[in-house]
Structure 1
Amino acid sequence: MSSTPETDVLVLGGAGVDTIVYVPELPLPLADSHLIRPGIQTRAGQTGDFVALGLSALGLRTHHLDVLGDDPEGDLVRALHRDRGIPLTAVPLAAGTKRAVNLVGPDGRRLSLYDATRCGESDRLPEDTVTALASASRHVHVSITQPCALALPALRRTGVTLSTDLHDWDGENPYHEAFALAADVVFVSATALDDPERTLRDIAARGRATEVVAMAGADGAYLLADGELTHVPAVAPPAPVVDSNGAGDAFAAGYLFGRLTGEPPRRCALYGTVAGAHACTVPSTRTDAIDRATLLARAAGPTADPATH
């Protein structure tokens, strides 16, 4: 690994395009048709894009690596990174750019439909590219999108610390497990976990993680660090909640910002809850992330846990 890294965080995977559909309620009532307002919009931004945007907005030097198609969706992703000044290394993908449809209810909940045809078993991120970019970085955040799992051995050989977000893992799916056991910092949604503490401790016991976080939305988060489980209270959103899309990605970006600026895990988790709460106030059709000054001000505010000061 370079003694003077050029990049703070390399984000691996998770580049794509979402079509946002606001629906009257979830589950969507069965009907021949629905009138949709404020309309249907397609924009660049999936999990890796949002993490990269969040990190960059917080002032960290960020580079994004993923597969992209030579198609209009890929052009949207390239334009997003160009407009936000985030370096992007795009490996050509014959099947086309990853895409999804997000159904968003009035309360901000969402249902995502991912196109599973966009990456095949033979697709790869070139190992020399992965190694070169990771070795020039202080940290690597790995999305669970294909073909990132195949890059994990090369990433580990670089010696760079890794993080990953398992999203709504149930604690058993072996695909997610490979990421969970390879990363030094693991994020997971508590949504599908019957016993979050058991899952966090299992990840720490069997893998490399020194910090494991279960994100629980309005209930805050659960942090396992140094063998101690801590509940991190939620932070009140600064505006009405309109959309939960991207909240987990924002949490990860806020947490990693804290970690890379030398903060202890409990403080990092506070940053994550602040960033996640902010994301819930941003409509899916936008790709805005909290900036460093706002994050630090809100983390120091009266709603923050005094134990983290």
Structure 2
Amino acid sequence: MHVRGGATVPSAEGAPKGERGMAVRADASDVLVLGGAGVDTIVHVPELPLPYADSYMIDSGIRTRAGQTGDFVALGLAALGLRTHHLDLLGDDPEGDLVRALHHEHGIGLTALPQPAGTKRAVNLVGPDGRRLSLYDTSRAHPDDRFPQATVRALAAASRHVHVTITQPCAHALPVLRETGVPLSTDLHDWDGENPYHEPFAYAADVVFLSAAALADPERTMRRIAERGRADTVVATAGADGAHLLTGGELTRVPVVDPPAPVVDSNGAGDAFAAAFLYGRLSGEPPERCARYGAIAGAHACTVPASRADAIGRADLLRRAAGPNP
């Protein structure tokens, strides 16, 4: 087991144990991010959907970089000055090395448990307008994958908040997380409101993010999440239409924020929104202010090329939030 931002020490009686008989000593953190570590290969295509052809010439190059949903949330949180720790399964492979290097470069604590199937990976096809189509390699996960309960409990107990991605094996960690009493958030991404896989996440979290892209009636889905689960806040992002915020039973619209530069890629925009929203929440800001932070960070993320892993900093976020037109 590889640990940064904490320590790995020989197990003692009663100590929380990770893999291979080692104990995890968890340093205090603001946010623990669970799951969602991996590598993307970025391919810029002339249009989406991509018409069939025998071959395409990719003049912009094909690039592989670390950064899936959990990595991007952790990166966004760290860029905003929050002490961040990330827990996931990683392979002993080149992709895992890229993920480890990303966390080391940005000072993000990482507990990487062994994944014999290899590090999660995906291929992102990115169109000229910044839209993407993601192809996920599901062979690098197994239904029996689990995080050691003691490791989850120790890291969560040392954190002010836990953000849970919907990747394998995070669903199995939800009961342990709820036992700790630490507030939870999750991102359901493009949930259609029907797929049962997402429901444990939707109903266990205190803050739920999702995209409205696949929802016929976003308000109905948002209210169902709040009524059936624990969420006091539900946010549905809607791209160029801004976002919907449900808190205290009241639904409001979050205005869209104009990007500060041309849009080149939408990948990571939702993760940036979630990170900035959580920064506001942990700073004691009201939900409306948190959502404004999220909209600003999401707009910034759309201006970052897919080949880079970058996030808005706290000074820039607060400066733009203070202006009339961020």
State the TM-score, normalized to the length of structure 2: 0.91
Amino acid of the structure 2 residue aligned with 1:49: D
Name the residue aligned to 1:46: 68
Question: What do residues 137-173 of structure 1 show as CA deviations (whole Å, max 9, x unaligned)?
Answer: 0000000000000000000000000000000000011
Separation (CA, whole Å) in 2 of partners of 1:46 and 1:272: 18
Which of 40, 46, 55 is the equivalent residue of 1:18? 40
> Alpha-carbon deviation of 1:122?
1.4
Separation (CA, whole Å) in 1 of partners of 2:73 and 2:257: 20
Amino acid of the structure 2 residue aligned with 1:165: D
Which of 282, 285, 308 is the equivalent residue of 1:260? 282
**1:89 lines up with 2:114 in the alignment:** no
Alignment of 1:162-181 (within 5 A): 162-181=184-203
**1:235 lines up with 2:263 in the alignment:** no
> Alpha-carbon deviation of 1:180?
0.2
**1:219 lines up with 2:264 in the alignment:** no
Separation (CA, whole Å) in 2 of partners of 1:62 and 1:171: 30
Name the residue aligned to 1:196: 218
Name the residue aligned to 1:307: none
Separation (CA, whole Å) in 1 of partners of 2:235 and 2:46: 32
Name the residue aligned to 2:176: 154
Worse overlay, 28-37 or 136-145: 28-37
Amino acid of the structure 2 residue aligned with 1:94: P
> Alpha-carbon deviation of 1:302?
2.0
Name the residue aligned to 1:35: 57
> Alpha-carbon deviation of 1:82?
0.6
Separation (CA, whole Å) in 2 of partners of 1:227 and 1:84: 38
Separation (CA, whole Å) in 2 of partners of 1:9 and 1:51: 10
> Alpha-carbon deviation of 1:37?
2.4
Separation (CA, whole Å) in 2 of partners of 1:253 and 1:26: 28
Name the residue aligned to 1:278: 300
**1:301 lines up with 2:323 in the alignment:** yes
Question: What do residues 69-88 of structure 1 show as CA deviations (whole Å, max 9, x unaligned)?
Answer: 01110010001101111010
Which of 180, 183, 203 is the equivalent residue of 2:205? 183
Amino acid of the structure 1 residue aligned with 2:159: S
Separation (CA, whole Å) in 2 of partners of 1:119 and 1:153: 21
Separation (CA, whole Å) in 1 of partners of 2:46 and 2:309: 23
Stretches of structure 1 that go unaligned for 5 or more consecutive residues are 305-309
Alignment of 1:81-120 (within 5 A): 81-120=103-142
Question: What do residues 18-38 of structure 1 show as CA deviations (whole Å, max 9, x unaligned)?
Answer: 000000000001100001121
Amino acid of the structure 2 residue aligned with 1:70: D
Separation (CA, whole Å) in 2 of partners of 1:123 and 1:253: 26
> Alpha-carbon deviation of 1:6?
1.0
Name the residue aligned to 1:123: 145
> Alpha-carbon deviation of 1:131?
0.3
Separation (CA, whole Å) in 1 of partners of 2:220 and 2:143: 32
Amino acid of the structure 2 residue aligned with 1:226: G
Question: What do residues 108-151 of structure 1 show as CA deviations (whole Å, max 9, x unaligned)?
Answer: 00000000111101111110000000000000000000000000
Name the residue aligned to 1:137: 159
Stretches of structure 2 that go unaligned for 5 or more consecutive residues are 1-26
State the TM-score, normalized to the length of structure 1: 0.96
Amino acid of the structure 1 residue aligned with 2:304: V
Amino acid of the structure 2 residue aligned with 1:156: R
Amino acid of the structure 1 residue aligned with 2:202: A
